[in-house]
Amino acid sequence: MPNIWQAIASLFRREDSAVESSSSGTSAPKTETYAPRLGQTSLLTVGSAYSAMQVATVYRCVNVICGTFASLPLLYLKRTPSGIWVEQKGSISEAFAVQPNRDYNAYDFKFQALMHVLLKGDAYVIPIWSKINLGDLDSLVLTNSDCVVYDDINGLYTVNDLANGISGIYQEDEIIHLKNLSIDGKHGISVLSFARLALDVQATGDNETLNRFANGGNVRGIVGNDNTTRGFGEYADDQLEKTADDLDAKFGRGKKIVSLPGQVQFSPISMSSVDLEFLNSRKFGVREICRFFGVPPTFVFDDTSNNYKSAEMANVAFLTQTLNPILTKVELELQRKLVAPHRYNKYRFSFDRKSLYATDLISQAEYQTKTIQSGVYTVNEWRRYENKPEVPNGDRVLVSANLKSLDTLVSEAKGEPIEETNEDGQQ
């Protein structure tokens, strides 16, 4: 019954608070509000991750990182007595390969989880274990980050998520906690928090672009006369104000050329896009946001000059410097929370990174050929990977016979018989 009242009370919590206190008095950072500085207009005043996604660069960066992450197969591996890691079939593997719960498939689940990490700082996944078959996983529930309060002193998570029907207090080992960059190692901080200034500049640029197209690039200025004294000659000052209003209305209707009565002068005060270097500022904003997300500008269709080599190096940098740390962090957190400590050396989670380095067909064929010649893979292993039927004798390990030892070359030069040795080095 107390859990029900807690769930009802959670409906009336302030969602825009940046910090919530737990029962122990500790605080957990929540979704940050995007309050612009005084006099600033921004798309981010709504105060949500959704509003930040309206910035094209943020949208693209999140899609690139989360999409690449979600497309990688996540394998649950078991170590054989010979030391080889093989995929372990069962409920845990099925959850990450097909459907972790009734609401998401495996791709959407991984995509949403990482998006929570990037845009909110933390993602909380609660594993629901089977009460009938011990050790079997029924489902994985991705909770709303705003519905979780983390007490880092006592290692307790208070969850009130009505949408997923979960409410209660969970121990540290009962919930999977994925964190973005963290200052204290316990609470993740979203990318949007660090990139607040760059996002405000970019959103303000979007608003300015909209205003320029909406009013047709109308100018602003001051209407006056060439007299230095106050007054407008035979007209009253209110007539001067009326003239300014009429002039503004004509510009607002899209007129380009207007006539001014008498000695009236119009002095424009608005700066042009060239004066403000408006276009260059917007380009800088794109690259600045890319720096925060760790995504090369070419991935967000930035028009920087590049060639095949630079594009290839950008792809390698993204995989090694941006994506691989995320994959390693998720692998270790899953192993820490889903595998018993005494079984760490027997079971582990691993993303299949081979698909990351898939390139054009010619390069891939050359890579397969070299791995077969060096004895790393057999023919049938590659055929199974390509979903092709096996061939006879395809499981034999092959090596290139072009290399010879110096003793063999000397014996051949002297015409001496070549002595063969067995695996123990005996003749």
pLDDT of residue 303: 63
pLDDT in tens, 321-347: 999 999 999 999 999 999 988 999 999
Long-range contacts of 79-83 (CB under 8 A, 24+ apart): 79/345, 79/346, 79/347, 79/348
Q: What is the mean pLDDT of residues 259-278?
A: 58
Contact 188, 194 (CB under 8 A): no
2-16, 30-44, 183-197, range with the lowest pLDDT: 30-44
pLDDT band with cut points at 50, 70 and 90 for residue 265 = low
Residue the block writes with tokens 């309060």? 149
**Average predicted confidence (pLDDT) for the chain:** 76
Residue the block writes with tokens 């380095």? 357
Q: What is the mean pLDDT of residues 220-243?
A: 58
Q: How far apart are CA 15 and CA 27, in angstroms?
A: 15
pLDDT at 3 exceeding the cut of 80: no
31-45, 156-170, 335-349, range with the lowest pLDDT: 31-45
pLDDT at 35 exceeding the cut of 60: no
pLDDT at 101 exceeding the cut of 60: yes
Contact 273, 42 (CB under 8 A): no
pLDDT of residue 123: 94
Q: By percentage, how much of the chain surpasses pLDDT 90?
A: 28
pLDDT of residue 72: 92
pLDDT band with cut points at 50, 70 and 90 for residue 272 = low
Q: What is the mean pLDDT of residues 173-186?
A: 91
266 or 312: whose pLDDT is higher?
312
Q: How far apart are CA 109 and CA 139, in angstroms?
A: 11
27-31, 45-49, 126-130, 285-289, range with the lowest pLDDT: 27-31
pLDDT band with cut points at 50, 70 and 90 for residue 215 = low
pLDDT of residue 96: 93
DSSP lists the bridge partners of residue 166 as 161
269-299 per-residue burial string, b: 16 or more CB within 10 A, e: under 16: eeeeeeeeebeeebbebbebbbebbbbbbbb
DSSP lists the bridge partners of residue 268 as 221
116-120, 272-276, 302-306, 396-400, range with the lowest pLDDT: 272-276
Amino acid at 200: D
Report pTM.
Answer: 0.68
pLDDT in tens, 365-397: 888 888 888 888 899 988 888 888 999 988 888
